[in-house]
A = this chain, B = another copy of it.
Amino acid sequence: MNTFGKIFRLTSFGESHGRGIGGIIDGCPAGVELDIDLIQKDLARRKPGQSKITTQRKEPDQVEFLSGVFEGKTQGTPIAFAIWNKDQHSNDYNDLKDVFRPSHADFTYTKKYGTRDHRGGGRSSARETIARVVAGAIAKQILAKAGVSIQAYVSQVGEIKLQKSYKELDLSATENNIVRCPDQEVADQMIARIEKAGHEHDTVGGVITGVATGVPAGWGEPVFNKLHADMGFAMLGINAVKGFEYGSGFEGTRLSGSEHNDIFIKTDEGVRTKTNNSGGIQGGISNGEDIYFNVAFKPIATLLKEQQTLDKDEKSIKINPKGRHDPCVLPRAVPIVEAMAALVLVDHFLLNKLNTI
């Protein structure tokens, strides 16, 4: 269950403080010229220690390709890759070895497997998402050739919410600030909010919005692998995600059908819809309009505060972790959301080749 995708399949491996994190991509078409810089750029966007509002764990996060790429091009054979862990500091975690940290996976992994790698969360650590960022960055390059681009940004931090829709924003400004919100004014408030959480040794949640443009009509596989169902599945598989909505989402439930329906119109570009409450997907298949969605992240569970909990013998104890933490994961999660969206879309791009003969 560590494989994502049906045609373009990523199988991921690795633990937070083991030898490294990596994966195998099987099903990548042959002949794709890989731009390693673009991959490394997304890794840098996800990297710890990239700004004052993220964890200060130091990791170079340099990807090494182990197979499947020859003379710069994919070969149609499995692409294995690894990012070796450097800053292991695994002794830091000895205190937590036998403790079930609140709202972490310590308790559930132990219940499920009868064993766990306690060092920094082991397999349950969000460090695993590096593998997804690498695979997603390759998927993006394939999609770019098909005219599809994906952009995500932070649209809410705690109670601070960006009111504008993606249509009213200049998404190219997303990388202009450390919180990855394309509206600088709101970004400043978000940064302040995250700094406040950091000072309090606490954390704060929020929402990431994703937008895919250029997806042609026809991608998506009813009845179960509707494009948005696969997208939701992908997003809900990211650590700390609690919700997903696309198009009109939860707000749309309040509308009547006559308000919600998107009227087809003829334009110079062909058939379009007047509004886009459908979020670019109808009956589970893309209709050519922009695909947009929201992903809800809880405030992450790792606090640098005293908390009451139980140890593995079910004895009550107090924990008070020291060191580094991420007061808000959202800025670093932006490339992860993009990567997962890219993995979903590249899979449907390939699946769509099979509809007709």
Contact = CB atoms under 8 A, between A and B. Distances in A.
A159 B254 contact: yes
Number of this chain's copies in the complex: 4
Contact of A263 (B30, B68, B243, B307): B307
Interface stretch (A35-43, A168-176, A178-186, A292-300): A292-300
Interface in A252-286: 252-266, 270-271, 273, 277-279, 281-286
Interface string A43-71: 00000000000000000000011111010
A252 B257 contact: no
B253 A206 contact: yes
Given A75-B113, A230-B233, A310 B2 contact: no
Contacts of A4: 224
Centre residue among A23, A75, A233 by max chain B CB count within 10 A: A233
A165 to B, nearest CB: 16
A164 to B, nearest CB: 18
Contacts of A221: 1
13 contacts: A2-B26, A3-B11, A11-B24, A14-B80, A23-B24, A102-B273, A108-B217, A108-B281, A108-B285, A111-B217, A159-B254, A242-B253, A243-B249
Contacts of A76: 112-113, 115, 355-356
A257 B13 contact: no
A103 B282 contact: yes
B300 A257 contact: yes
A214 interface: no
A13 to B, nearest CB: 4
Contact of A250 (B9, B11, B242, B266): B242
A140 interface: no
Contacts of A20: 66-67
A202 interface: yes
Nearest to A82: B66
A252 to B, nearest CB: 5
A107 interface: yes
Given A113-B356, A244-B245, 8 more contacts: A4-B224, A18-B67, A77-B117, A108-B282, A142-B357, A146-B357, A206-B253, A244-B244
A257 B202 contact: yes
Contacts of A305: 258
A96 interface: no
A266 B108 contact: no
A226 interface: yes
Contact of A103 (B18, B206, B245, B261): B261
A245 B236 CA distance: 9
Nearest to A1: B221
A253 B103 contact: no
Interface string A107-142: 111011111110000111000100000000000001
Nearest to A146: B357
A170 B316 CA distance: 33
A228 B352 CA distance: 27
